[in-house]
Amino acid sequence: MRAGAPAVCPGSVRHLRTQPAEHGFCYPLSYVWIDPDDPGALCAAHPFWSASRPAPARFRRGDYGTRSTGSLSDGVRAELEPVLGRRPVGAVRMLTQIRRWGWLFNPITVYVVWHVDPERPVGVVLEVTNTPWKERHRYAVALGTPDPDGWMAAQTDKELHVSPFLDERYRYDVGLRGIGDRIEVRLDVVGHGSCDPTIRTSMQVERHTATRAALSRSLRTNPFPTHRVSLGIHVEALRLWLKRVPFVPHPAKRSNAGHQDPKMTTGTTTEVHPERLLAHAETSRPVSIAERRGGRVTSTAMHLLLGRIGTDRLEIAERIPGREPVDRSYGPGGELMASVRVVDERAYSAVLTEGSVGFGRGYLEGWWTSDDPVTVVRVVIRNMGTLDRIRNRWVDLTGWATDRIRIALSRDTRQRNRDDIAAHYDIGNGFFELFLDDTMTYSSAIFPSADATLAEASRHKYDLLLDRLDVRPGHRLLEIGTGWGGMAIRAAERGCDVVTTTISYEQLSAARKRVAEAGLTDRVTVIDSDWRDLTGRFDRVVSIEMIEAVDWRDYDDYFATIERCLVPGGRAAIQAIVLPDDRWERAKNTEDFIRRFVFPNGHLPSVGAIETAVAGATSMRVGDVERFDDHYAETLRQWRLRFDGQLDEVAALGLDERFQRLWRFYLAYCEAGFDEHYCSLVHVTLEDQRRAGDDTFEERVARRERPEPTFAAVTTMHTPTTTSTPPNSSTRPSSSSLMSQPKNTPKSGIR
């Protein structure tokens, strides 16, 4: 049959999903092969087929769209011109479904285009319709030369939200074979940086000349093809939902929550979205009479509590409207003296009822102020010892029960993680540029010398981690948590091939832009992938302050993913903010100021929790653990000073005083925490113990769980021994002492 001859094309489509759950189905098709500018040639042989009037089978021009207002063929040629570098002049044919009984549901139409050679097409345009929303998108791709099996292949980024069970972080691998009696189309959905398709879709149709008998047979054997396809797709969606495949909202709904499509941005944006973060705080409101009466009671209780301050000094100046000014002082004095001005009694009740959440809320709402919030928080931390011990003992008694309850409850979903990340990291790239250094590093720097700049210290941190990993030119490096691309760029400059992932839309677009500006697109691939979905094997894995976004109940899965992505004998390194083990047991099930207002649903690990997860879920071994608390305190101090020096620019972005107070207190709160070693910054090295050909820990467990195992591998896990806890310094070190922190601190030394 001639390639251009109109034809009826019965066939089928097969669909196989491999991640995150296996799922497959097949349904019949009733396509047509048609000249888009002469559809009457197909329909002329049968009165029930038409291209100009209502009929049981009807081609209607309005059901298909191009950017051109002219003919369909001219529009398709115009879309292929920038891809091919020339305007094709040959024939255009379309493989599509047409209306049946007045209704059309058409997931995909394939336009095949020739240039000069009538034997081989030069390109295709895929017109894709997304199922629930009836939106159309067109992909123009140039076809390669046929491989030995006759497949002509191409690739293109996925840009349309086709399904509520798949987002836009993939590419399409397109294949076309045969324009004779049989046509085959392949459309694989593949993650960036991966070789294995997440979804395989193949369509096969047989071409039959459009005779009266063939047209009649099509109506008789498959009278409702579009209805059947639509119903089948919705049934399969229900099956995916029952398999707990994560639901992905439409980008329009995500944008209403502040998300942006990374393909619609080019990097730095001036639009900011603080409302997602501020939504975690209740709006300030006037004080009622009942609250005023209760406020005197809570203020008295607060003063009794403050009277127990045993070190340093806290001075409070009450300037509450309608009451006499009162000045009070607490504590015996010492190295630190902090001053607080209270202007609303709710400052007291918030602290008494909400702890650190209420403490931060009071500053956010302006109920109390201070010229030096860092010192205020440091004095509070120094006097928390007794209360912490009481709360830790309570956790020792009840933790076994609360842990089991929490584990039984639903955990973070991929969409919840994206929403939480967006609330903080998608405030706007333009905002973060105001206080970060030139490398756009939003994690602790490590200062090589007392006079190093913040940017130099950030680059030094990247080099320390790469040296710790023994990274060499040609290594494949996976980075979990891109940030704004600083580590990926530095690793590529040192000769690595890097795949780096982020689920922040703002960071994704900016990182891709920065990689392109650095001329490293051949070495760095920036993908939008949840850590659970990562595939491939890499020589090294690095993750910088990303584990804090992982729920503690998912630590086993997180480290199992790292092992799965490592080649046998590979290495991984993480930079993490950690808590002492005893406070981690309490903090993992409670909410503090940071979790409520700054990093929604964040979880700080402890070194002990990391060791337990690594030993229990992987074959890896925890190697060196090095501590850098004072470097983070200095990093935060410089961020805070930069932020305070840019308040006019912050306001110009539309960020009001309430948001400014939130951000200032966040930086001060964290700075004080590292100053007082209430939390720590560590580098943790993980060493894979497998030899080439060995299975991962997960694979061995899966094999042991099979009903017919022939043997079970036995692995000896190494758990590092512990040593006594060194005393923590309680004062800010001098600038020179930043360089003198001990190296290779024993793991238990930071607990």
Query: Could you give the CA distance from residue 672 to residue 380 in angstroms, rounded to a whole number?
Result: 10
First to last CA, the chain: 77
Average pLDDT for 560-574: 96
Angle, helices 607-617 vs 555-565, to 10°: value is 60
Is residue 247 one of the residues assigned to a domain? yes
Residues ≥6 apart with Cβ < 8 Å to 410 = none
Tell me, what's the pLDDT at 405? Answer: 58
Residues 502-538: tens digit of each pLDDT: 999 899 989 999 999 999 999 999 998 999 989 899 9
Residue 596 belongs to what domain range? 413-641+681-700+714-750
Query: Could you give the CA distance from residue 412 to residue 425 in angstroms, rounded to a whole number?
Result: 18
Is residue 39 one of the residues assigned to a domain? yes
Angle at 448 between CA 447 and CA 451, to 5 degrees: 75
Bin 237: left if φ > 0, else alpha if -120 < ψ < 50, else beta: alpha
Longest dimension (CA), the chain: 102
Is residue 380 one of the residues assigned to a domain? no
Burial of residue 714, with CB atoms counted within 10 A of its CB: 0-12 exposed, 13-18 middle, 19 or more buried:
exposed
Average pLDDT for 337-362: 91
Average pLDDT for 334-356: 91
Under 8 Å between Cβ of 29 and 12: yes
Average pLDDT for 729-740: 42
More confident residue, 242 or 659: 659
For the CA atoms of the chain, what is the radius of gyration? Answer: 31
Residues 138-174: tens digit of each pLDDT: 888 998 888 888 889 888 887 777 777 776 667 888 9
Is residue 551 one of the residues assigned to a domain? yes
Q: What is the 3-state secondary structure (H, E, C) of 101-131?
A: CCECCCCEEEEEECCCCCCCCCEEEEEEECC
Q: What band does 386 get if pLDDT is binned at 50, 70 and 90? A: low
Tell me, what's the pLDDT at 716? Answer: 33
Query: Could you give the CA distance from residue 342 to residue 366 in angstroms, rounded to a whole number?
Result: 9
Is residue 150 one of the residues assigned to a domain? yes
Is residue 694 one of the residues assigned to a domain? yes
Average pLDDT for 117-123: 83
In this prediction, what percent of the chain has a pLDDT beyond 70? 79
Q: From residue 4, how far is each of 41, 216, 692 by CA, in Å?
A: 11, 21, 54
Q: From residue 14, how far is each of 31, 124, 418 by CA, in Å?
A: 15, 20, 31
Query: Could you give the CA distance from residue 454 to residue 461 in angstroms, rounded to a whole number?
Result: 10
Count how many domains the chain has.
2
Q: What band does 714 get if pLDDT is binned at 50, 70 and 90? A: very low
Q: What band does 696 get if pLDDT is binned at 50, 70 and 90? A: low
- Domain boundary pick from 232, 252, 272: 252
Q: From residue 41, how far is each of 2, 59, 64 by CA, in Å?
A: 14, 11, 18
Query: Could you give the CA distance from residue 456 to residue 467 in angstroms, rounded to a whole number?
Result: 16
Query: Could you give the CA distance from residue 192 to residue 263 in angstroms, rounded to a whole number?
Result: 14
Query: Could you give the CA distance from residue 603 to residue 583 in angstroms, rounded to a whole number?
Result: 12
Under 8 Å between Cβ of 73 and 36: yes
CATH of the domain at 425: 3.40.50.150
DSSP 304: H
Q: Return the number of other C-beta atoms located less than 10 Å from residue 568's C-beta.
A: 16
Residues 263-290: tens digit of each pLDDT: 333 344 445 767 667 765 554 444 444 4
Tell me, what's the pLDDT at 168? Answer: 62
Q: What band does 241 get if pLDDT is binned at 50, 70 and 90? A: confident
Tell me, what's the pLDDT at 525? Answer: 94
Is residue 496 one of the residues assigned to a domain? yes
Q: Which long-range contacts (CB under 8 A, 24 or more apart) does 741-747 make?
A: 741/627, 741/628, 741/629, 741/630, 741/631, 742/627, 743/626, 744/624, 744/625, 744/626, 745/625, 745/626, 745/627, 746/625, 746/720, 746/722, 747/607, 747/608, 747/611, 747/622, 747/625, 747/720, 747/722
Is residue 626 one of the residues assigned to a domain? yes
Tokens 């630190």, residue located: 336
- Domain boundary pick from 237, 252, 267: 252
Query: Could you give the CA distance from residue 456 to residue 447 in angstroms, rounded to a whole number?
Result: 8
| Maximum average pLDDT range among 115-129, 386-400, 458-472 | 458-472
- Domain boundary pick from 236, 252, 268: 252
Residues 483-507: tens digit of each pLDDT: 999 999 999 999 999 999 999 989 9
Note if the bond before 20 is cis, omega within 30 degrees.
yes
User: How far, in whole angstroms, is CA 51 from its chain's centroid?
Assistant: 47
